[in-house]
Chains A and B, each alone.
Chain A
């Protein structure tokens, strides 16, 4: 991973600013973070650094003096630190501190807010297309409940009363599960720390949501799951990625039906997730554009053009990769590759 042309960066201060810097900088291949320092061992940025295998220290002189540091980013907000750095920095290192580092911190915050807004906007726009699916899935059990209740009002046979009452209870449970699934999906992705997410369970959850968005009639489902496939990431965001890719796959087969294949594989410390359809495919000249924002092949009002852009953003944030293979009229396969994580003992999140 080490490149000679990498810029060596030291971060001073591991509060929220330091943590945000870590999150941003460690995604950039041309930057090597040589270490992060804070006096407070419980600072949030230090926890994150541990998780990312970035050296942590309380020794500022050593960090800035002995590691060939080219850029010192001071987000301590401490004027004494600023003065100290001015006096003691190695001659080859630049310093970013004071108002410049505050400005940078604000820009980072702004960017991550924009990213979250885009994600939420796209999710909410998509929920409009759920109306038909939700209406179908709520009104069907309601019809059953109403019919059974009407029948109960006239029923004299106690055994039949008992049976019908239980059917009503089951139907109510099914209906409330719909609301639970959807509220879980529509809420803003919780900003919690990355956790181990069971991929197979997350794919199944995404399938349930995607069924509201599009009709799965005439679509054959094929699941090839390897047990124990897990990745580290934000479970809400990962759910969003899967819903998006599954919905696209189903839309691609809207005209003629086809087969939707979900595949997971753990191999050599990596998890591969494959979502394939046998639908209309993507024209070769369009493939380079599909991850661009506001690119869509769907009719006006049908797609936001943000789906795959957001998918790509989330996947890169999780240190993953996404690739696509597609042939017109034969179908597309999206492959996601992530570093494998230990499956969570508590099951899926």
Chain B
């Protein structure tokens, strides 16, 4: 298990899991998607919390969505609201916050709510991938 990180990326072609990226900036969704696809993840996008909730409630995503990466400052349903919704309705889906505005109080509160990681933009691809890998591991444990 200690070697799981390197093991996780072997090949990078098979689907390693499905990730939903929630950010109002198309640029961010594009670059996060690019980074994660290279590591073999299937990546879905949503432009705000409302769309994220719609996405997870549609079809197979209800079961197939493994990890959500979520911005905080967004229109309509913002990140904090979306996270609260996901925590109470889909507690088995691990959450990663990816925000442009580091705020210690907010980070503490999110981590208390069970958010796996609190990442501040700009985040290196390697760090993002390892956060997702950790979240995937949690998702696996939840399935057992």
Closest 7 CB pairs of A and B: A147-B31, A139-B100, A217-B75, A139-B121, A142-B122, A136-B100, A146-B122
A22 within 8 A of B: no
Closest-CB distance, B28 to chain A (whole angstroms): 6
Chain A: CB-nearest residue to B23? A140
Give the contacting residue for A139; candidates B35, B78, B122; CB below 8 A. B122
A147-B125, A151-B34 given; 6 more Cβ-contact pairs under 8 Å:
A132-B101, A143-B27, A143-B28, A146-B123, A147-B35, A148-B31
Measured between alpha carbons, how far is A141 from B100 in the docked complex, in Å? 10
Chain A residue contacts of B91, Cβ below 8 A: none
Count, A-B residue pairs, CB within 8 A? 67
Q: Which of B15-35 contact A (CB under 8 A)?
A: 25, 27-28, 30-32, 34-35
Q: Is the CB of A140 within 8 A of B121?
A: yes
How many residues of B are in contact with the other chain, CB < 8 A?
Answer: 24
| Contacting pair B120 A147 (CB below 8 A) | no
- Assess the B123–A143 pair: CB atoms within 8 A: yes
* B interface secondary structure, majority: loop
Seen from chain B, the residues whose Cβ lies within 8 Å of a Cβ on chain A are 25, 27-28, 30-32, 34-35, 38, 73-76, 78, 100-103, 120-125
Contact (Cβ within 8 A) A143 B73: no
- A136 and B73 contacting across the interface, CB-CB below 8 Å: yes
Shortest B39–chain A CB gap in Å is: 12
B125 to A135, Cβ gap below 8 A? no
Closest to A170 in B: B27
Cβ contacts under 8 Å, A144 to chain B: 27-28, 30-31
| Minimum Cβ distance to chain A for residue B56 (Å) | 21
B34 near A142 (CB under 8 angstroms)? no
Q: Report the bound CA distance from A145 to B102 in whole Å.
A: 19
Most buried by B among A137, A139, A147, A171: A147
Contacts of B103 in A (CB 8 A): 132
Question: What CA separation (Å) do A124 and B16 show in the bound complex?
Answer: 49
B63 to chain A, nearest CB (A): 29
